[in-house]
Structure 1
């Protein structure tokens, strides 16, 4: 209610009216945020990758759809490719942050995937050199790469600055995946990150995106 936090909700109301933003997308973002808080507090794990992807549909996909809405893009293909990019970016962030999430009790590798690769909790601790954990993160990284590449053609169809920004967003995600691979997927020991030296690579790849 605007009476509780008027400095937030009064401007938000005007933005909603001006741009006719789809309120269900904003509700999805809040729902995902609340879920993340609940899962972390209860030390709850994701049962399988389908449940993890369901979280992504609310934590990440609404962001892309809101941006497309602002540019008047509503066709089914663009929405689907936006969802692919956004879900992939969320997943890439998970596999990038294993070394910081696990010590805080934030577990995103699903129980099903961990069991399939024979991964125990101890395998994702900082001192581990587990081959099973390597295979787990490798499989997740490959899946995320395929997902973001499937959505990447959207960046070429969006005109102007927005299209170029999306190209760089896609290339940023792919570059993080490159760095995860360079660590032999051991992101439970070290968090890969982008530096200024990565920008020329990303710009070059964005220029030649197909």
Structure 2
């Protein structure tokens, strides 16, 4: 079974976590991960191509700001939303599992992992392991969650059955989300960059006019 690890990480915690897990799979389970890449690279490959090249997607991500994706995961979440809007199911036949990282001091700390889990399932992929939500506030519990998730994913990979019936719905172990659809797709719907870029451009024009007039 060809396995692809996709991660989104702002501070490096999620990346280090999933790389450590992948290393453990190789050393203790004999599982060789085919690729490890950030979400931005996965988006460039394309969802349909990912499903063609890999049997299983192990996705690890945190959230940033108000439940937003990390900078290197933004294009991947956007691609998921775009495919969902189009009514496509490009990931049919592919298995997946999501590992979420964050700190429960913030209400939206698992927002990006939950959105990712939900959208992957809606795009035809099979949820083969229940999402694990790692909270850095409780390091011991987080280690237990990661180990349990890692063992469950390894078992699926070893079985060779990537695509099968979903083991649960995306709402487990938590279903509170803040939808980021409009924020992810604002450039696509307006035909240009996000509003903040327009504001910046407008300020630049004002500054130029001021310079020419008063300099």
Question: Shorter chain as normaliser: what TM range?
Answer: under 0.3
TM-score, normalised to structure 1, is: 0.27
Please state which structure has a larger fraction of its residues in helix: 1
Please state which structure has a larger fraction of its residues in strand: 2
